[in-house]
Amino acid sequence: MPTTGVLQSWASRLQQMTLEAEKNQAAGAVTPAYRANRDEIIDLLNRALASEWASFLQYWHHYTMASDIHSVEVREVWKEHAEDEYKHARTFNERINQLGGVPANSPKKIEQLTPTPFTEGHDLRSMIEADLVGERATIQFYNDVVRTCGFDDNETRTMLEDVLLEENEHANELANLLFQFDASTGKEIPTYHQEAMQQLAQQRRAAA
């Protein structure tokens, strides 16, 4: 049971919070409890937003252009991933607005800010590889932003943690499309990928 002193302390703190909340009401969701560098977080979120738009367009382009005999299954994966990236972009838009920033939704800003540039690809494998590299780069970037937020921006941190779970799922699905794994050990069977990469290199040299 909390002691009387502890309860009185919380009562006083809650009263002070209410008084502080009455000030600067135009700030909306940003209260004195927010301790991060807001300009830095907005900039990072805009870079994340640009990445999501670029990823959405890349997935949708790959979904539209895929023509390989094995493309039917992959196209459904791309469509699902594109829908997820669009959802992430909406989420980042809302958080940037809550923090008093302006979302970078213009094509020019997207091109300037995205850490994962749009890649068209050439064939089914190169498109999947481009998407996998993009997802892995995004995972690394978002983890760094989570660490930057720490406990100074709990809302942005938890939002990114939710997004990260889906980005990890994307990367895993794409890796499973590209690589074979031993069902008894979970380890990659290297010869499959090596042969495929040699074949791809030959195709690219022939097309050059």
Residues 56, 85: contact at Cβ < 8 Å? yes
Query: Which residues, 6+ apart, have CB-to-CB distance to 103 below 8 Å?
Result: 46, 49, 92, 93, 96, 97
* Overall average pLDDT of the 134-138 stretch: 96
* Overall average pLDDT of the 43-56 stretch: 97
- Give the least confident one: 2-16, 58-72, 96-110, 148-162: 2-16
Q: What is the pTM of this model?
A: 0.80
Q: Indicate the pLDDT class of residue 73, thresholds 50, 70 and 90.
A: confident
Domain boundaries, the chain: 35-207
Instruction: Decide yes or no: CATH 1.10.3720.10 for domain 35-207.
Output: no
Q: Residue 117: how many CB atoms within 10 A of its CB?
A: 12
